[in-house]
Structure 1
Amino acid sequence: MIKINFFKKSIYLLLALLLAFTACKEDEVIPEDEQDNEDSDSLVSKTVNVLIFHEGGFQANNATIGSYNPENQEYDPTVYRNENGNFIGDVQQSVLSNSGFYYSVLNGSNSVKVLDSATLSLSTTIEGETIDKPRAIAISGDKGYLSNWGPYNDDFGLSDSRILTIDLNDNSVTGSIDTEEGLEDVQIVGNTLLATRHYFGSYQHLTFINIDNNEIINDIELPAGPEEILMDTSGNAWVVCNSGALVKIDVENASIAETVQLGAEIYGDADIFDNAIYFLQNNEVKAYDLSSKSINSVATIKEIQTPYAFGIDPENGDIYIGDGVDFSDGGTVLIYSAEGELINEFVSGILPTQFVFETELQVFEEEEED
C-alpha cells in the first residue's frame, strides 16, 4: 500500500528543517497556451512530448527538466542542461505555462526562471529580496501573483507569508499582498485570486483576493490538507484536500459550494480528464465523474514509495505517476494507459515533481473510396 505523500513529505521536512531545509513540491500545472482544435476530420490533436520537471536535492542546485516521447517511449533526462549548459536551480517547486513561456518557481533558489517553451532556453530570472521560499505563480494579463512562505521563525514556523505581485513586462517584483501564513497553490478565476494554505497541517484554509484592488475578500476553513486548485471544463474551481476530499468553490460568494468525501486520504495532486477528476488513493487511480457524481476505479498501480507527481495526458487519458523514492537518488516514472495497463516505467531525475503535456495538431489525409 502506498503511504500518502503528505505524510512522507511532512516527516522529511520536519527532519530536514533541523538542517534548515525549506520545502517540497506541491503544485502541478496544465499548459494554458495549447493550440485550439479546428473542426476538421483530418486534424487530430496528439501529445508529442511530455516534460518532466524535477525538484532535485535540497541545496544541491541540481533541479532539472527531462523529456519523454510517448510515441517511441524514449526518455531524455538532460533537455534543459543540453540547451542551457547547467541545472535550472535549487528545489524546482512548481511550473506554469503561459503565453509561450514556462515559469519555473524555485523554492530553494528564491527565484522564478522564465523559459522559452519552444526551446527551454532561459529567457530571464525573476529575483528580489522579498522572494523567500516561493511556492506557485498565477498570471492574469501582464501581472503575476507569486505565493511566498516568507522567513522562518525560531521554531521553523511562518510569520510573514504573502502574495508577491510581479510586472511581467520587465519581470520585476512590484509589491505584495499581506495574507495569513502557509500559502500554497494559487489560481485566478475572473478577478479573484484563490490561494490554499496548509503548511504541513498547520492550516486548512482558502484565501480569496480581489486582484482589482489586491484586497482580501475572505479566508475560509476547508477539510484538512488543501493543496492543488483545479479548474474543470465548466470554469468551476476545485480544491484537492489530501485528507480525502474534493471541494467545489463558489467564487462569487467566496464560500464552499460542495464537498465530496472520498473515504480515505489521497495524494494532494489531481487532474481533470473527460469531465472527471482523477486522483491517487492508496494503490489505485480513481475518477470522480462530475456529471454522475460517481467514483470509479481506473487503474490499480504497482506499489511505490513516495507519490510525488500525478498527471493525465489530456489527449488520450494515459496516467503519469512520479515516485520520489528516497528523496535523494533518481525517482521513478510509471505510465499507465487509460484502461489501466502499465505502458512504461523508467528512472528519472531526483524527485519528479510535475508533468507538462505538449501537444500539436496532426493532419491525416482521408483515403478516397474506390
Structure 2
Amino acid sequence: MKNHVRGMLAVASFALLTLGCKDNQPEGPSAAGEFTDGVLVINGGNFSQNNGTLSFLKRGSREVSLNIFNQANGAGALPPADGRIEGYTEVAGTGMILFDHMTVGLDKLTFVEAGTMKVKSELTAPEIENPRAVLAVSERKAYVTNWDSFNPDYTYKEGYITIVDPTTGKSTGKISVGEAPEEMVLHQNKVYIGRFAGNGLAVVDTGTDVVTKSLTFEGIPAPIGVDAAGKLWVKEGPRFHRINPGTDAVELTLKPGAELSHEIGAATLTADRKGIVFVWSYRDANYKEIGNTYTISTTATSVSLDKPIFPRVFSALNADPVSQLIYGGVAPSATQSGHVIRANQAGVLQDSVKVEISPEGFFFK
C-alpha cells in the first residue's frame, strides 16, 4: 500500500520521495539450507498487484533463483498475492518478511526458516498494519515500523513500532513514534527512525523501548547508517547530515548541488563504511527519475558532482560486506523485471543479473 499511497500524495503535491536502501541487518549465522551464502534481493513488485517477491543471487555467480518464497511454500505459480515486500531481515536462523497488502487488515510479518524460506508463523493486524521496515535489535527482539491504516480523509494516524520476539513469532508490545515511521538504523543501544510525515527522526532506547527524543529537520529525514568513525549519516531532501550519536547533534551538513529540483535518492555506506554512494536526481513531468550516481568520503567537507561513478540512477543501493561490491537495483517500470548491477567501489562494472519487478533492497548472507 505504501507506494500506492505515496503515488497519490505525489500527484496531489508534485513531490515524491525516493526510498533509501533497506540495509540494516545483524551479524550472525544463517540456518542450514539452500539460501545460506549469497544475496537476497527484495523485489517490491507492482504496488497495485500485491506481487512482491524475493530473489536469491549466489555470491560470485550470475546464478539467480526467482520467487523463492512462493517456490519454497508450494505456491510457485505467478503472480503471488501476499502483498508488496517492504523489508526483510533475519536473526538466529529466522527470517522476517514484511508484506504490505493493498487491502487494510491483510498486511503481515511472516517468519521463515532463513535457509529454506519455509513459513514458520505469521503476525497480522492489528499488530502489523501498513508496515515499512523491520530491524533485528537482538536475538530476542526485532522492531517493525508501521504507518497504521489511514484516517477517512487520508491523513495519518499515530505510527508505531511493533516489538517482536523472533524466537516465538509473537508481539511483545508497541511504541508510538509519530506519524509515518519508516527506515531504521541501530547503533549501540539506540534506534533512529525516519518519518515520512512531521520531518522528525525519532530516537528509541532499545533497553527501555521508549522514545527518548525526536530530532527535527526541514524536510523528510531518512537514516543511512553509521560510518567507520561511529557517526550517523542521514539524508534529508537535497542534504546529508552527519550526526554525533553521543549527543544526537548535527555536526555537519552537506548539499551535493544547488539545483532546486534535485534530491538525494538511493544511498548506502560502502562496505568499509568510509564512503557514501548516492543517487542525485530529479523527477520529470512523467515522474521518471533522472540523474547520476556519485560517491563521497565520510570525512569530506564538500561534495563534488564533477564525475559520477555511474551515469544512471538506481532504485536501491547497498554494499556487500563480504565481496565489498556495490549492488544497485534497476527498475525499468512497475510491471517489468528489473536488474541487479554489481560494481566495485570505483564504479567499474562487474556484471548485471536479471531479477524481478522493482528491486528495492538487498540482504547479504
Shift of 1:322: 1.3
Match of 2:154 among 136, 140, 156: 156
Aligned to 1:279: 278
SS in 2 for 1:349: strand
Match of 1:301 among 287, 310, 314: 310
TM (norm. structure 2) is 0.78
Q: Is the CA contact (8 Å cut-off) linking 1:93 and 1:107 kept in structure 2?
A: yes
Q: Structure 2: how far apart are the matches of 1:24 and 1:94?
A: 16
| Structure showing greater relative contact order (alpha-carbon pairs closer than 8 Å, 6 or more residues apart) | 1
Aligned to 2:142: 144
Q: Structure 2: how far apart are the matches of 1:191 and 1:257?
A: 20
SS in 1 for 2:315: strand
Q: Is the CA contact (8 Å cut-off) linking 1:230 and 1:271 kept in structure 2?
A: yes
* Equivalence map 1:203-214=2 (5 Å): 203-214=198-209
Q: Structure 2: how far apart are the matches of 1:9 and 1:24?
A: 14
Aligned to 2:126: 129
Q: Is the CA contact (8 Å cut-off) linking 1:26 and 1:184 kept in structure 2?
A: no
Q: Structure 2: how far apart are the matches of 1:139 and 1:315?
A: 20
Name the CA shift for 1:169/1:340 in 2 (closer, same or farther; >3 Å): closer
The count of corresponding residues between Structure 1 and Structure 2 is: 330
Aligned to 1:218: 213
Q: Is the CA contact (8 Å cut-off) linking 2:21 and 2:318 kept in structure 1?
A: no
Q: Is the CA contact (8 Å cut-off) linking 2:256 and 2:304 kept in structure 1?
A: no
TM (norm. structure 1) is 0.77
Match of 2:60 among 71, 93, 102: 71
Aligned to 2:187: 189
SS in 1 for 2:179: coil
Amino acid corresponding to residue 240 of structure 1 in structure 2: K
Shift of 1:15: 7.2
Match of 1:96 among 84, 89, 95: 89
Unpaired stretches in structure 2, ≥5 consecutive residues: 30-35, 282-290
Name the CA shift for 1:52/1:261 in 2 (closer, same or farther; >3 Å): same
Q: Structure 2: how far apart are the matches of 1:189 and 1:54?
A: 27
Q: CA RMSD in A?
A: 3.2
Q: Structure 2: how far apart are the matches of 1:60 and 1:16?
A: 20
Structure of larger gyration radius = 1
Q: Structure 2: how far apart are the matches of 1:78 and 1:67?
A: 8
Aligned to 1:365: none
- 1:259 pairs with 2:253: yes
Q: Structure 2: how far apart are the matches of 1:225 and 1:147?
A: 16
- Give percent identity, aligned residues only: 19
SS in 2 for 1:81: helix
Shift of 1:151: 1.6
Aligned to 1:42: none
Shift of 1:349: 1.0
Q: Is the CA contact (8 Å cut-off) linking 1:240 and 1:268 kept in structure 2?
A: no
* Equivalence map 1:1-370=2 (5 Å): 12-14=7-9, 27-34=21-28, 49-86=38-75, 87=80, 89-108=82-101, 109-141=106-138, 142-198=140-196, 202-241=197-236, 243-263=237-257, 264-274=262-272, 275-282=274-281, 283-293=291-301, 295=303, 300-301=309-310, 303=312, 307-358=314-365
Q: Is the CA contact (8 Å cut-off) linking 2:25 and 2:136 kept in structure 1?
A: no
Shift of 1:27: 4.3
Shift of 1:153: 1.5
Amino acid corresponding to residue 211 of structure 1 in structure 2: T
Q: In the TM superposition, what whole-angstrom CA distance separates every residue of 1:7-64 from its partner, at most 9, and x where no partner exists?
A: x9886343799xxxxx9965412442257xxxxxxxxxxx952221111223533221
Q: Structure 1: how far apart are the matches of 2:213 and 2:91?
A: 27
Q: Is the CA contact (8 Å cut-off) linking 2:26 and 2:136 kept in structure 1?
A: no
Q: Is the CA contact (8 Å cut-off) linking 2:293 and 2:312 kept in structure 1?
A: no
Q: Structure 2: how far apart are the matches of 1:140 and 1:70?
A: 26
Q: Structure 2: how far apart are the matches of 1:355 and 1:213?
A: 30
